[in-house]
Amino acid sequence: MPIATLILAAGQGTRMKSDLPKVLHRLAGAPLLQHVMQTGAAIGARRSVLVVGHGAQAVADTARDIDPEITIVEQAEQKGTGHAVEQSRAALAEFEGDVIVLYGDTPLIRPETLSAMQEARSRHDIVVLGFEAANPGRYGRVIVDGTGALEAIVEAKDATPEELQVRLCNSGVICAPAALLFELVAEIGNDNASGEYYLTDIIALARARGLSSGVVICDEAETMGINSRAELAAAEAAFQARARAELLESGVTMTAPETVFLAHDTVIGRDVVIGPNVFFGPEVTVETGAEIRAFCHLEGCHISQGAIIGPFARLRPGAEIGNDAHVGNFVEIKNAILGEGAKANHLSYIGDADVGDAANIGAGTITCNYDGVMKHRTKIGKRAFVGSNTALVAPVSVGDEAVTGSGSVITRDVPDGALALERSQQVTREGLARKHMARLRAIKAKKLKTEN
């Protein structure tokens, strides 16, 4: 059965106390909305419709950056979830398949859960997603009859004392055939405590027609909605716990998993070892057998097999680290390729550069890539040896097996196999250091005497 996702993202999110629309706040390096859209894509949705309201333009622009094919509709007035779904009627008028209604502020629902809802649709006309709540509180209650058939979903503010005792709660996620969904939405009224049109009322309307409704139950953590900064932090913790557990299960070693932070798209191969306090920003891939030592910060980079990174290393976007390469403590690499077996072990900045296989970058090396207006590239050949405290003023190249002397400022290309030295002549004055220091101490003593 073809599937479409209908994502409701019109709410203001006043409890976030932010000028940024709620669904654009970030979780694991990506907007909440992106997580929801990617879940829809993972189940093979043929169509995706987004209902926007508060911050409509910013939300729509972000959605189109993620999926240029998404359809945007606007809910100018927020009159409830049923009213929000009604806004998408025209956008889905020709769609012949099931629609799953999702929420832009509920980012943790798994693709597997939505697939289970699709499967349950073979047995029911409508399927809702429920969860057993530890503290049901304000959640709508899922009411079933003695046979387990779904009768209705009752909002907490409209529930009777008996209904409030029910622990099976509504996530708001619903799967139904498009035609049936919009037929039932047209019948929803707003005779309730909030004066809103509740999408959940379609369950009772369907039952009145003799239609079947079913419930798929998921873990409560999946249904976590984000309405405040505290809930955003809780969702981040839930995401990280789940992502870490998945990595451990897949064959990754983490010596202190609770201190490792992952992005929504982090990819790590088996037999990778990750030390404590490592941060992964978006777009990081680590291949099999690499090691990421403690206190590294990685984003937008690719680390190949057998490479060793850190401790205290920073890899920025465009960093490509070759097989068995080493990036050591306090080394920063940006938009640069480090070839197979190459080493930059200490206190260096390698930006906008190509470093050849088995090259060695000495401590304190800098590629001077920015002239104040434009960036320029440095090329370092295979098996080259760059001496400590070398400044490579780009654009410049150091050839294969070439050497630069420590403390050199290299402004011209160095041919293959050549030695380049750029230093002023050392001058030594016997005894001058003692005289100079004695003079400074005398000045200091005189100053202290005057002050006292």
> Which of 223, 242, 272 is where one domain is finished?
223
What is the number of structural domains in the chain? 2
Compute CA distances 365 → 125, 227, 277, 360, 427, whole Å: 67, 48, 26, 10, 25
pLDDT, tens only, 401-423: 999 999 999 999 999 999 999 98
- Give me the residue label for tokens 């409701």: 8
More confident residue, 451 or 217: 217
What distance in Å separates the CA atoms of residue 412 and residue 379, rounded to the nearest whole number? 12
The Cα 5–Cα 261 span in angstroms is 30
| Domain finish residue from 193, 223, 253 | 223
pLDDT in tens, 346-399: 999 999 999 999 999 999 999 999 999 999 999 999 999 999 999 999 999 999
Q: From 171, 206, 223, give the residue that closes a domain.
A: 223
Whether residue 119 is contained in a domain is answered as yes
- In this prediction, residue 413 carries a pLDDT of 98
Same structural domain for residues 185 and 260?
no
Q: What angle do CA 40, 43, 48 make, to 5 degrees?
A: 35
Q: Assess whether pLDDT exceeds 90 at residue 426.
A: no
Cβ-count burial 41-65 (b if 16+ within 10 Å, e if not): eebebebbbbbbbbbbeebbebbee
Q: Hey, how many other C-beta atoms are within 10 angstroms of the C-beta on 324?
A: 19
Residue 430 lies in a domain: no
pLDDT at 127: 96
Is residue 450 a part of any domain in this protein? no
Residue pair 278/258 in contact (Cβ under 8 Å)? The answer is no
Range of the domain at 128: 3-223
Residue written as token pair 């401790």: 311
Same domain, 281 and 371: yes
Query: What integer pLDDT is reported at residue 146 of this predicted model?
Result: 74
* Pairing label, strands 98-103, 168-177: antiparallel
On average, the pLDDT of the chain sits at 95
| Judgement on whether residues 115 and 260 belong to the same structural domain of the protein | no
pLDDT of residue 78: 86
* Residue 436 annotated among the catalytic residues of the structure: no
- d(C-alpha 376, C-alpha 367), whole Å: 9
Query: How is residue 176 written in tokens?
Result: 């139904």
**89: Cα separation from own chain's centroid:** 32
pLDDT score of 218 more than 90: yes
Q: Compute the distance between CA of residue 332 and CA of residue 418 in angstroms, rounded to an integer.
A: 27
| CATH number of the CATH domain containing 75 | 3.90.550.10
Which two three-digit tokens encode residue 390?
A: 């070398």
Indicate whether 214 and 289 sit together in one domain. Answer: no
Residue 301's pLDDT is 98
pLDDT greater than 80 at residue 147? no
Q: Are residues 387 and 259 in the same domain?
A: yes
pLDDT in tens, 320-348: 999 999 999 999 999 999 999 999 999 99
Please check whether residue 314 is in contact with residue 296, taking contact to mean a CB–CB distance below 8 angstroms: yes
Q: Average pLDDT, stretch 191-204?
A: 88
Is residue 217 domain-shared with residue 258, that is, in the same domain?
no
| Domain presence at residue 435 | no
* Contacts (Cβ under 8 Å, ≥6 apart) of 129: 109, 113, 117, 170, 171, 172, 173, 174, 215, 216, 217, 218, 223
pLDDT band with cut points at 50, 70 and 90 for residue 157: confident
φ and ψ at 231, to 5 degrees?
-70, -30
For the chain, the first-to-last Cα distance in angstroms comes to 91
Active-site residue, selected from the candidate residues 54, 297, 346, 376? 346
Phi and psi at residue 418, in whole multiples of 5°?
-90, 155
Residues 253 and 365 placed together within one structural domain of the fold: yes
The CATH number of residue 370's host domain is 2.160.10.10
Half-sphere exposure of 152 (CA within 13 A, CB side): 11
Q: With contact defined as beta carbons under 8 Å apart, do 257 and 280 qualify?
A: no
